[in-house]
Each structure stands twice: as structure tokens, then as C-alpha cells.
Amino acid sequence: MRVSVIGCTVLVLFTVLIIGKAEIYIVTVEGEPIISYKGGIDGFEATAVESDEKIDTTSETVTSYAHHLEKKHDMLLEMLFEFGTYNKLYSYQHLLNGFAVHISPEQAETLRRTPSVKSVERDWKVRRLTTHTPQFLGLPTGVWPTGGGFDKAGEDIVIGFVDSGIYPHHPSFATHNTEPYGPVPKYRGKCEVDPDTKKDFCNGKIVGAQHFAKAAIAAGQFNPSIDFASPMDGDGHGSHTAAIAAGNNGIPVRMHGYEFGKASGMAPRARIAVYKALYRIFGGYVADVVAAIDQAVYDGVDILSLSVGPNSPPATTKTTYLNPFDATLLSAVKAGVFVAQAAGNGGPFPKTLVSYSPWIVSVAAAIDDRRYKNHLTLGNRKILAGIGLSPATHPNQSYTLVAANDVLLDSSAMKYSPSDCQKPEVLNKKLVQGNILLCGYSFNFVIGSASIKKVSETAKSLGAIGFVLAVENVSPGTKFDPVPVGIPGVLITDVSKSMDLIDYYNTSTPRDWTGRVKSFNANGSIGNGLMPILHKSAPQVALFSARGPNIKDFNFQDADLLKPDILAPGSLIWAAWSPNGTDEANYVGEGFAMISGTSMAAPHIAGIAALVKQKHPHWSPAAIKSTLMTTSTTLDRAGMPLQAQQYSETEAMKLVTATPFDYGSGHVNPRAALDPGLIFDAGYEDYLGFLCTTPGIDAHEIKNYTNLPCNYTMVHPWNLNTPSITVAHLVGTQTVTRTATNVAEEETYVITTRMAPAIAIEASPPAMTLRAGASRKFSITLTVRSVTGTYSFGEILMKGSRGHKVRIPVVAMGYQR
């Protein structure tokens, strides 16, 4: 194999004056990265791995080739630019061959014109895609016992978290009450030392902790006093996601003197490897995230949990699957790493996903069966429903209601939005003490400059019995989450109910001719909101969860690939929090937080994947993805079809029957996932075939990222062996093939199909017998019956003679010939 040495084709020594404002660029260059280098350069042996094989980072072969690539990156920059006019941030050698560099747009153009440079991509920002769930998912009784109990669940599986770091002192990550952790020889990540305490971040449970901020620093965004130049979590988000996936079992969730239950990770014995690349105010940069992923795979993680997605499409790459982020993850999967990524929080609108590729498991967010309700009972006996995780006022006793605007110390305080109840110093303590303080929920609460936590602190400091927040004006679709508080408190979210409260207060509160209150005669009491109500109509797809259809390019053309892949709990999730964290104003300084987002759903899948990996250590990432998808459920706890939160015509929230564009294959079912019967496996060559057969993708662009020529034997992208079928543009009749592999004992499967009337569906053969370990191909024929202009949904159900059930969703839109 002939390899041109980087730099030799450059004939002129360029020196460039920095004219434009310097920016960060991700550059890929000729030559193979470690994961795919098959030899050909004198003095450097092959380092390539087969599909689903780990990189042996201890070998001299790998380390010497890594040094060779980094030296070539440095030589290229030194030959092109004067010293001091550029700042190389990272060399990528493991999954990509390239580097991140801080240069001017003119220098970037010079790189683009250099023959040995394959791509130059301007960096762009990423953002965070921001308990009870182990019981809801059946882990303590159905899954953990098969792995030896909670104290063995996930043993020796390493989950890597590319997030905002970790608070290592949290009880969810402590080791003093657990069986001692032994070494994990396969993992070789390092532990940074805390610059303040001089102690490293690792303790046996946490096995690696590093931070990546060179791009953030170069962009002038990094503030070491709040962002921490270490793996310390300055946000809260990273500690939360790590605890969901792998936090210790049975950790009491205590706030304001009340215990809200016990928290546990999905795989409480799994190890945690921290790769901090997100920060509290600005989010993060792709250059830092790619460096974190590159390092995590090199270190030997088994699973990657990514609660992060791009803020916007990249500047130059038009193919969704080939932006530097997804291309890096393709190499991670080639190295045998399972990747769970948050689908995005742009729902309930279509085409809002930020996770696109078939080698990634894209996770949608569900509401589980807990609902926290509370109420305010008025003196006229009217009961106003609301929310609030708070204790009740004294039973059988009513308290006087006083509005914040009526108890001002000085009229000049109006400039501070006193009805928000954020500043106790502007309110009259004598008038508030012993009463219930009425406050208004303004836009300041939506943007985060006001918080319910601060209302509670204001009321408490003034000696109030409790508080009420009334929503008088609301944007359609505004989402209200209950917030734990230490005194009685309720948020009235329904505007009409808030008007009832205001009318009652005004008619019960006589005033003089200036508008000053003569006497406060309105009264009421606040209910107990601490106990959740369990609903059978769970799970439901959360309103914010990003929806399909998936797109193949940033012109928003529909892809022949179903996304999201799977649904997992992601609403009102209790987990660890960093006391330094400011990501949620209502949890500043707390040890736990209850928050929502597909950010919370992805680590549920990462942790459950760890349990599957523990039982089946040699399964590929695609096999683990397959077992999670084919065993998922499309029914709720009451046995009814899953529903999704959606906007009505008036933009109020309603429930509609969910589709695969909402939930993918369905809601995760961990117990069934340990024994799927059949799997649909795929590897690096298959993903390459998918890319090559996707219309509109330039084969040269594919080779830039994969270093391999195109292979067209797959014929169509919908023939990729995924546990879902999507044909976005079905004309006439198309036949789709799948290959099933039996991972149980010999079994005969009967194949049945169903589809919406606009599309005919047929399976061949109708039944097949597979010996243990055997694979069999079958085909699905789809025919357009009528053109409706909308997608049709269906499924393939494979019922085994030994009781296994394997389900594959089918999605297609018919067009005229």
C-alpha cells in the first residue's frame, strides 16, 4: 500500500499574515489513523483492528505510529505557517488522522488548498441535551439477580461519559460502603489531579477522569474560576448523567429534611470514566468533544454515553452522517464501543433530531409513571390544582394570603419585579410573617433569572408559612416541573385557576382610595405534594423529545433509516448533582436534582447496555443495539398503545397515539433484552455500504473519513442489517433483506407482518428454523397500494417456538411511478 508522506507534496513554504479573526478548525489529512492503518510505511507495522475489536494501546507498534502521525501534523503546520501565527490544540490519531488548530480564515484556506489535506471544517458549538426508574424498568427483580444482584450489576464494564465532569465526593460514586473494586486491566485511562486538593479524581468506582478545554480556551470562552481546569463538575449535568447510568444502589435522596426515595444507577457496579468537554455557560466545542471521544476509545471504554448534540449544522459538511462528530463515533463503534446519544430536545416538531447515524443508538425521552401533584384550598372552599414537591400547611387550619405587591416596604421596590419574590429585603416581614405569600410566575422564571428555590428562601426568611406562585400569562407549550422546597408551596400552572385565585384575593381584600390594603381577609391552605401519584398510562413520549423522520443531509431530505432508535425514561429524573452546579437554578447548592431531557434518557440506555455487555461480553455494539430494540415495547403499563405528548390546535398540550418517529422501536425493556433470541448484527463494512448506497453522498467524501473505497453490494441503504426498516421514497415494489442470527438454542420462528393499508407487506419465508449460532436471511416486500402523502407504519413480528418475540418496526412513504 503506497502512502504519501504528509508534507512532501508541499513545494512552497507559505507564511501567512493573520488577517481575519482566528477561529478553531478541525482538519483531516492523508494517511490512516491507528484504527485503520494496515501498514505500508517503512518502520511502522500495521495497527488496524477488525470490526468490534479494541485498540491495543500498550503495544509499541501503536504508540510509535501515534507519535509518527503527531509529528506529521506538526511538520505540516510548521511548513505552512510562521511560528506563533497558529495554535495546534489537539492531534487526532486514534479514530481520525488530523488535528484541531486555532488559525485565521486565510490560513484555513491555505490548508484547504494543500494536497495532503482532506478536509477543513470550522468548529462549531455543542450543547447539553438536558430515583425511581430502576423499579419502573424492572431492574431489581428482573435483571440484576441474573448478574449476581445489584452489587455485581455491571461489574468490570467501563462507561465513558463525555459531559460536564463529575463531583467525585458524591455518595453515588463513593466506595467506602461497597465491596472493594479490583483493577480493570483493559482500561488504561488516566486520572487528573485536582489542582486545589492535590488528590486525583479516581477511587476504584471512578477509574478515569480527564478534561478537554483547549478549543474553549482558544475561543476565549473558558473561565477557570467557574469552569474548573479539571474534571470537577461545575455544572451538575455530568454528575447527573453518570449517576443515572452507573451510580451506587440505594443512595437516599434527601432534600430539605425529606427523603424522596433511594437513587440507583442502571448498572450500579459499572465503572465510570469521565471525559469533561462541556461547560456551564457556553456548552462546548466539537474539537474538544472529538478529542474526548478519541481519548475515551483509546483508553478502552466499553460504552460511551453522550448527552450532547450540535447547536447547529456544521459549516461545510452537508451529509449528516459525515460531520466530524458522527465520523469519529463510527470509528469508535469499529473499535467495539457501544454509543448511546441523546436524540435531542427539539420536540414535538418533526425532523428535530440531532443524532442521525446507524452506528449510534439515538435515545428519545419518556415520562415514567410518577406524577407530582399539589393543590391550594381557598377560604371559599374552591380547590385549585397545581404542582409542588412540598409539605402541607398544618391540617385543618387556614392561613391569611398576602400578595407580594401589597407588602412592599417602599414603592420604589417595583423596579425589582417584587411579585417574583426573589428579594426578601424589599418586602415587609411584619406583614408576611405567619401568612402565605402570593407571588407571580413571570418570564424571569422561564429565562432562569428567577427561581422557585429563591421564592421558597424569600418566604422562609420572612417567616411565611408557605407560598403560592400564580401563572397569569403563559407561552403555549410552556413546561412546568415540580421543584422540591422545604416549606409548603404550590405553583398554579393553569391560567384560569390563577385567575380564580386572583379574583378571590381581590374580592376578599378591601383597599382604600389609594389602592392600599385595609385588611387581608383572603385565606387558604396548601396540600401535601411530597408523594408521587403512579399512573398506568406510562410511559408516554415527552413533549420535548426530538422527533423523526431522520434526515440524511442538512437540506433536510428524509433518510432511509429510522430515528430515534429507542425510548427511555427522561422526565423528572432524580440523580446526583454537583454543589457547584448552576445548570438548574432550583438546585444550586444541592446534592440531588430532578431534571428532564433526552440527556437523562441516554445514560439509562448506556447503563442497561452495560448489563447486556456484562452477560454477553463478546457481542458487538450492533448486537447490543439490536437486542435493546427488538425486545422493546410499544404498549404502556395498562396494555394500551404508547401515547406521545403533542401540541393541539390551540397549542395546549394533548396526547396522541405515538409512532416510530416518536419512540423508534419502543420503550426499553431490560429484562427481555438479556435474552432476545435473535439479533441483527452489523459491522464497519456494513456501515460503509450504507453510506455508499445513500443517494447524494459523494464517494470521495466517504473515503475522506473512512479511508476506504466505496462498496455498493448493499444496493440500497435500507438493506443495512438494522432492527428497523425505513423506505422514505417507495415507488412500486421494493424488497428489503435482513439477516437474523440465533443467540439462543435451536428455535423455529413464525414471521407475521402488519402495515397501514396504503402499503402492502409480505415476508418470505413465512417461517424459519435456526440452529444455535446460525444466521438466516429473509426478505420483506413492500408495495405501494395508494399514495397518501404521509408515512405508513407497520411491524414484523417473529414468534419463536421457545417463547422469544422479536419485533421490527417498518416505516415507508409511497410515491407514484
DSSP 8-state code for residue 322: G
Cβ atoms of 722 and 358 closer than 8 Å: yes
Rounded Cα distance between 480 and 475, Å, is 11
For the record, the C-alpha cell of 285 comes out as: 466545542
**Cα 170–chain centre separation:** 22
Backbone phi, psi, residue 746, to 5°: -55, 135
Cβ atoms of 523 and 379 closer than 8 Å: yes
For the record, the C-alpha cell of 350 comes out as: 418533526
CA angle at 742 for the pair 739 and 743, rounded to the nearest 5° = 130
Q: Which residues of 185-218 are buried (b: 16+ CB within 10 A; e: fewer)?
A: eebebebbebeeeeebbbbebbbbbbbbbbbbbb
Output the furthest CA–CA distance in the chain (Å, rounded).
95
Cβ atoms of 179 and 639 closer than 8 Å: no
Would you list the DSSP string of 393-416? PPTT--EEEEEGGGSBS-GGGGGG
The dihedral built from the CA positions of residue 627, 630, 631 and 634, taken in this order, carries a sign that is: positive
Rounded Cα distance between 153 and 139, Å, is 10
Q: Strand 775-784 vs strand 767-770: parallel, antiparallel, or unpaired?
A: unpaired
Would you list the DSSP string of 541-605? E-TTS-----BSBTT-PBPSS----EEEE-SSEEEE--TT--SSGGGTT-SEEEE-SHHHHHHHH
Rounded Cα distance between 424 and 245, Å, is 40
Name 84's Cβ contacts closer than 8 Å, sequence gap at least 6: none
- Catalytic residue ranges: 163, 237, 599
Closest of 597, 610, 666 to residue 634, by C-alpha: 666
**Cα 74–chain centre separation:** 35
Rounded Cα distance between 491 and 627, Å, is 42
Cβ atoms of 139 and 212 closer than 8 Å: no
Count how many Cα atoms sit within 13 Å of the Cα of residue 276 in the half-sphere of its side chain. 31
